[in-house]
């Protein structure tokens, strides 16, 4: 009796241990692939982001993809809100050129939010091609926003870090979808 209870506990423990190791490996491998496929994705950023997502250690690859879409969506919503506050707080002191860039970025981020929502739906119904198109336009939005600031000499983008984070998260999602599609073939 005692013995079988013990082996059951041991069994459950090793199961838990193994699955958590697998989760770690999956994140590690996914980030490795993603950073190799896209030089803009930093391995460290990828593992830190995915590991911080709730329950990511128990997720399979499809689940990990959904998590990175969600992270992208939070990023977009947060940045859109940030731009709104920047515009509101600093109307008087903002350089007119910087202000016009922020207004453009606000538009771009608004569109990107509806793109990521559509991407989520497509992803859930395994329509990876559609999801890919939407996520690519999210990436375009972040680069267009960033490039706006660079058009004028001496202007510094107020959103570099945020644009970069969203770009990287999107690239991670694209690479996960790539792996998923290849495994379906």
Pairwise CA distance, residues 108 & 124, whole Å: 24
Distances in whole angstroms, Cα of residue 153 to Cα of each of 92, 93, 156, 162: 21, 19, 9, 21
> Rule CB under 6 A: is residue 75 a binding residue for ligand NAG?
yes
The least CB distance from residue 84 to ligand NAG, in Å, is 9
When binding is defined by CB under 6 A, the residue of 162, 163, 167, 172 that contacts ligand NAG is 162
- Closer Cβ to ligand NAG, 49 or 132, answer by number: 49
Report the residue from 16, 17, 74, 129 that binds ligand NAG according to the rule CB under 6 A.
Answer: 74
String of contacts with ligand NAG for each residue 120-159, x by CB under 6 A: ----------------------------------------
49 binds ligand NAG (CB under 6 A): yes
Binding site for ligand NAG (CB under 6 A): 49, 71, 74-75, 78-79, 82, 85-86, 89, 162, 165, 169
């Amino acid at each position: 009796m005692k013995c079988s209870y013990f082996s059951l506990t041991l069994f459950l423990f090793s199961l838990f241990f193994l699955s958590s190791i697998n989760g770690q490996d999956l994140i590690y491998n996914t980030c490795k692939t993603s950073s190799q496929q896209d030089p803009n994705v930093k391995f460290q950023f990828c593992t830190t982001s995915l590991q911080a997502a709730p329950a990511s250690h128990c997720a399979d690859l499809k689940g990990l993809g959904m998590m990175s879409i969600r992270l992208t969506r939070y990023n977009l919503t947060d940045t859109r809100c940030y731009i709104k506050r920047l515009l509101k707080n600093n109307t008087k002191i903002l350089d007119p050129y910087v202000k016009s860039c922020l207004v453009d970025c606000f538009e771009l981020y608004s569109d990107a939010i509806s793109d990521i929502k559509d991407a989520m739906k497509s992803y859930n119904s395994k329509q990876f091609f559609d999801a890919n198109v939407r996520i690519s336009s999210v990436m375009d939005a972040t680069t267009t926003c960033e490039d706006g600031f660079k058009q004028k000499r001496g202007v510094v983008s107020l959103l570099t870090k945020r644009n970069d984070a969203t770009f990287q998260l999107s690239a991670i999602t694209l690479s996960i979808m790539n792996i998923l599609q290849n495994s379906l073939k």
